[in-house]
Structure 1
Amino acid sequence: MKGLYILLFISLLTLCGSCKKDLLNIENPNTPTTDVFWKTEEDAQRGVNSIYAMFYKPALWSRWIYFRLDLTSDEGFSKSPWIELGDWTRFQYVNYNFGEGNVFTWKDTYKAIFRCNQVLDNVPNITFADQVKKDRILGQAKFLRALHYYYAALLWENAPLVLKTSKPDDLPLQSTLAEVWAQVEKDLKEALEVLPVEWDDNNVGRPTKGAVNAYLARAYMQQHKWAEAKQALDYFFTGEGNGKYSLVSDFQDNFTHTNENNSESVFEIQFSDVNKTPEDADGPGQMMSSQRAQFFAPRSIGWSDGQARYWIVDEFKKEKTVDGNIDPRLRYTLFYPALEADFGDKVYGRSWQWDANEAWFRKYARDYFRDNEDYYAQNNFRMVRYADILLLYAEVLNELGSTSEAITYVDQVRSRVGLPNLAVNHAAATQDANAFRERLKMERELELCGESVRWADLKRWGDLETQEKVAAVAERDPDFKNFVVGKHIRLPIPQIEVLNNPNLKQNSGY
């Protein structure tokens, strides 16, 4: 039998030797190489579309990034039986190479940036019939690169800037946080010049000038560049965006799949349940859904790896509406023990069966039409809402000395849910910039809880910069008793990256 295998092998070698060279080098149309790709307008469009596909990766906006932005903040925590997963929400970082806590998000962030760089390096060489179309493809790539670096700045801070299509043997240089912010600003300002005020119906979900200005303002505010942030936010109030955005009447409409891309939406990830494929698939049939609800749903409904801090329930109940009712945002923000008594709502059709001091995130849950969760949630994730813009503008105005003007923008958000103006119940906050800032912190929490902005807020406000301030946060969230000032303000760079790249230095304290 062994002799037969030898003969067959020799025959195959002979057959191969008689083949023409061009027949042995037929390109696979499903995996085109750079030699044949990046030639046409269609290639350019496919290239930029591939960047959006990165939103659906578990390490990014499908799943794990919420553990960093929501659960690591004072809004949430984890009692997951997967101890190491929970440890990464309570500042107990032992293994810097822990995939779900660190490495996977780092890897996919740079994979997204790689795809952006491919577009930016290759599309300029493609001839287009319409220069506007070409410019918009490049503008999208710049916006998306800036977006991924924005979150890299929030998480790791000193992330290396890779601005050209990388090769396997590249060893990128260490970048400072200031350098990362500068690149974010540059990309966004260049994107702003070419992206439209709005897209046609076939392209809803691509970034507009509103989305660019929103992230430009966010980047400036993280650096306390208040005047520059105001200029970006002016777009919504005195610029081309004036009148384009408005608060929807029903607060819940911001978190369901039934009223997406509405007047309040500035930028949102377009999730879908059409492809129920393995989560690691990569291609036209890849999963395009969110798994947030599956991992944040209560025990026996989802995996219950993340839940909300109960102090938020108490905060919602400190103030009544003008009609004497509970703030209606509580109803759609959290599951909590008195939800049924307060609003008549059960939890995925069940009366409360969890602990008396527990709460769970309700935003983006699908209990409004089903009694369980899975890996295929179709709710778009609203990255930026107009309510956030109003509150950011109020913050900027206050920091620039215009507290009286800032009040009106907070009152717009409060009015939507029937709360009285600030002057009625929080008069002190209308008289003093410091008092206004402290009240605004809570206004943002009540409006934006569970929307992945709290970690950036805590950093921007300086609430994690001194032991005294961290102790105040720890009164709401005891996980912050583990927080080391000057260290845990940023994640460790994955150790495998530091070991493999002599140009990288581990973040301070690690």
Structure 2
Amino acid sequence: MKKIKYYFSFLLLALVGCDDKLDIVNPNTQIIADYWQTQDQAQAGVNAIYNSLILDGTYMRMFPTLTDTRGDDITGDTPWLDIAQVGNFTIPTTSGPVQWIWGAKYQLIWRANQVLDNVPAIEMDEALKNRILGQAYFLRGLAYFNLANTYKVVPVVTTAQTVISDDEAVQVETYPATATEEELWNQIFSDFQMAKELLPISYDNVSGPDQGQKGRATKGAATGMLGKAYLYRQQWQNAADQFEQFFTGDLQGRYSLVEDYRDNFKPTNENNFESLFEVQFGSVEEVGGSTRNYGGDPNSTWQQVSSQGYTYAMEGYGYSDVLPTRWIYNEFKEEKTVNGNSDPRLLETIASYEPEDNSTTVYGGTPWPFAEDRIFPRKYTHDGIPGWTDEGGIENSGINYRVLRFADILLMYAEALNELGQTSEAYQYIQQVRDRANLPDLATTKPVMGQQEMRDQLAHERALEFAIEGQRINDIIRWGWLYDPEKLAMLKQHDADFNTWTPGNEYLPIPQTELDVNPNLATNPAN
């Protein structure tokens, strides 16, 4: 089976609870106490969490877009003011897309909490129960990881039960207070650790309704995200311990780099051996549907499309809402391959006119229709994919969004080792990524680098490998570059959007609509 079909998740509808003050039952709405009874209902419950990944506020469009535009590799090129203002760090608290991201993440968390609250008591196959709980922990951890990197501080809610006997407690539970950064990140660590303990390495040989399904969270995904979370909090040894398991533990040999870099961003060869976790999308032709999956309550007519392919597509083939910066284009030109050619990732990431590299056409062979100095995103669009000539004027991409790749494990492990003073050991993991791009041996071209030199080298390597993948702004924030005058000046040279950055606005603001209804919700540095 190629992937999880999210339409199975429509089995889980909105579940409504009530307390003993109003004992009225709606015969058309199933209540929580009546729903969580069977193994099939538990499976439908975890499927519903995955459904929240394909909303506009998660990976369908807005979350990747508002993350990419805050980096120095992408700039806004759009009449949609929200995208432009996020890109130049002036977004108001009343922005609709900022609210969509918040709402979709907490919808995911609420669904995960339902599973974690109710599935343990169901009499069912224990191995399947563990897998279901592990997936719920993983997906909740992923939601909180994204919230932490987007808003810095948010409420941590770990139960779906909001109706309890004490009236004062009802108020606190209904209106959760903002957690500290430490509390938030400790929850992320805990969720990924629990997921790691409960999830299988693969679903190929399990027994149950999930047997053979691609796209479900695995032990490798949980281990990788746990290591990434530790890395983001500069817990270098903890991070290295997680990444080491991909090379000496039971995950050894499970993942590797695909030969063709572009296989990570097109609708063929999805869920490959480089992918630790990816969000499953399908075009209308693949999975049907008539209602766009922007958000709200899912129904049987929902589509499962990604809008990113059309949002990022060049003029004439989509909205062209974002453009690569000239800096990231030039960064690809900094180093030639061992054969004297351009870095092959350039033309897999950016559409540009390159006669010397036989890049003079777009979308199925159309001669380059723009000025020769124009550049556009190619990654995650259908440009250059055989058999595709036009996206049909609609948002109908079936390209999966890759959340975590093995290339990231390699470069994060190298970073952790460098920070632990093991700089010489970092070379071998960086070189695996460089080898796919056919770049020279770093140990020969830059031998015996010091720790700071290696930091700069890793920043360069990550910029090229993960351009237009929602990574850059998170790297910039966690490295402290915005508060380093020299680095900030460099960012302003890379992308003029940084000229309007002010302290705290590297994050999105807490939505005003949330502040208006929750008296316990605190503002963040961007408000």
TM-score normalised per structure 2: 0.87
Counterparts of 1:2-401 in structure 2 under 5 Å? 27-28=27-28, 32-94=30-92, 96-100=93-97, 102-128=98-124, 130-165=125-160, 167=162, 170-200=174-204, 202-273=212-283, 274-279=287-292, 280=294, 282-338=298-354, 340-348=355-363, 349-367=365-383, 368=385, 369-373=387-391, 374-401=394-421
Partner of 1:424: helix, strand, or coil? helix
Match of 2:433 among 410, 413, 416: 413
Q: Which has the higher contact order (CA 8 A, sep 6+)?
A: 2
Alignment size in residue pairs: 478
1:378-401, Cα deviation, whole Å (9 max, x unpaired): 111111111111111111110011
Query: What's the % identity of the aligned pairs?
Result: 38
Amino acid corresponding to residue 187 of structure 1 in structure 2: D
Q: Which has the larger radius of gyration?
A: 1
**Structure 2: gaps of 5 or more residues:** 1-23, 164-170, 205-210
Amino acid corresponding to residue 366 of structure 2 in structure 1: R
Instruction: Note the C-alpha offset of 1:447.
Output: 1.2
Question: For the residues of structure 2 that align with 1:292 and 1:38, how far apart are their CA atoms?
Answer: 36
Match of 1:489 among 488, 506, 510: 506
TM-score normalised per structure 1: 0.90
Amino acid corresponding to residue 394 of structure 1 in structure 2: A
Amino acid corresponding to residue 361 of structure 1 in structure 2: P
Question: For the residues of structure 1 that align with 2:471 and 2:523, how far apart are their CA atoms?
Answer: 26
Partner of 1:218: helix, strand, or coil? helix
Question: For the residues of structure 1 that align with 2:288 and 2:56, how far apart are their CA atoms?
Answer: 15
Question: For the residues of structure 1 that align with 2:43 and 2:358, how far apart are their CA atoms?
Answer: 47
**Structure 1: gaps of 5 or more residues:** 1-23
Instruction: Note the C-alpha offset of 1:489.
Output: 2.8
**Aligned residues of 2:281 and 2:399 also touching (Cα < 8 A):** yes
Question: For the residues of structure 2 that align with 1:407 and 1:475, how far apart are their CA atoms?
Answer: 29
Change (3 A) 1:252 1:33: same
1:419-460, Cα deviation, whole Å (9 max, x unpaired): 111133334xx4211001101111111111111211211112
Instruction: Note the C-alpha offset of 1:350.
Output: 2.7
Partner of 2:494: helix, strand, or coil? coil
1:33-65, Cα deviation, whole Å (9 max, x unpaired): 324211111111000000000111111100000
**Aligned residues of 1:276 and 1:376 also touching (Cα < 8 A):** no
**Aligned residues of 2:353 and 2:360 also touching (Cα < 8 A):** no
1:209-244, Cα deviation, whole Å (9 max, x unpaired): 110011111111111000000111111011111111
Instruction: Note the C-alpha offset of 1:275.
Output: 2.5
Q: Report the RMSD for the aligned CA atoms in angstroms.
A: 1.8
Change (3 A) 1:475 1:385: same
Partner of 2:87: helix, strand, or coil? coil
- Runs of at least 4 residues of structure 1 off by over 6 A? none
Question: For the residues of structure 1 that align with 2:90 and 2:241, how far apart are their CA atoms?
Answer: 40
Question: For the residues of structure 2 that align with 1:68 and 1:84, how far apart are their CA atoms?
Answer: 9
Change (3 A) 1:32 1:260: same
Instruction: Note the C-alpha offset of 1:357.
Output: 4.3
Aligned to 1:422: 442
**Aligned residues of 1:498 and 1:504 also touching (Cα < 8 A):** yes
Question: For the residues of structure 1 that align with 2:47 and 2:425, how far apart are their CA atoms?
Answer: 41
Question: For the residues of structure 2 that align with 1:469 and 1:445, how far apart are their CA atoms?
Answer: 15
Instruction: Note the C-alpha offset of 1:371.
Output: 2.1
Question: For the residues of structure 2 that align with 1:473 and 1:372, how far apart are their CA atoms?
Answer: 35
Amino acid corresponding to residue 265 of structure 2 in structure 1: F
Instruction: Note the C-alpha offset of 1:342.
Output: 2.0
Aligned to 1:477: 495
Partner of 1:186: helix, strand, or coil? helix
Which segment drifts farther, 133-142 or 32-41?
32-41
Partner of 2:254: helix, strand, or coil? coil
Aligned to 2:12: none
Question: For the residues of structure 1 that align with 2:87 and 2:443, how far apart are their CA atoms?
Answer: 37
Change (3 A) 1:145 1:509: closer
Question: For the residues of structure 1 that align with 2:87 and 2:406, how far apart are their CA atoms?
Answer: 29
**Aligned residues of 2:86 and 2:508 also touching (Cα < 8 A):** no
**Aligned residues of 1:495 and 1:506 also touching (Cα < 8 A):** no
**Aligned residues of 2:177 and 2:522 also touching (Cα < 8 A):** no
**Aligned residues of 2:45 and 2:115 also touching (Cα < 8 A):** yes
**Aligned residues of 1:308 and 1:360 also touching (Cα < 8 A):** yes
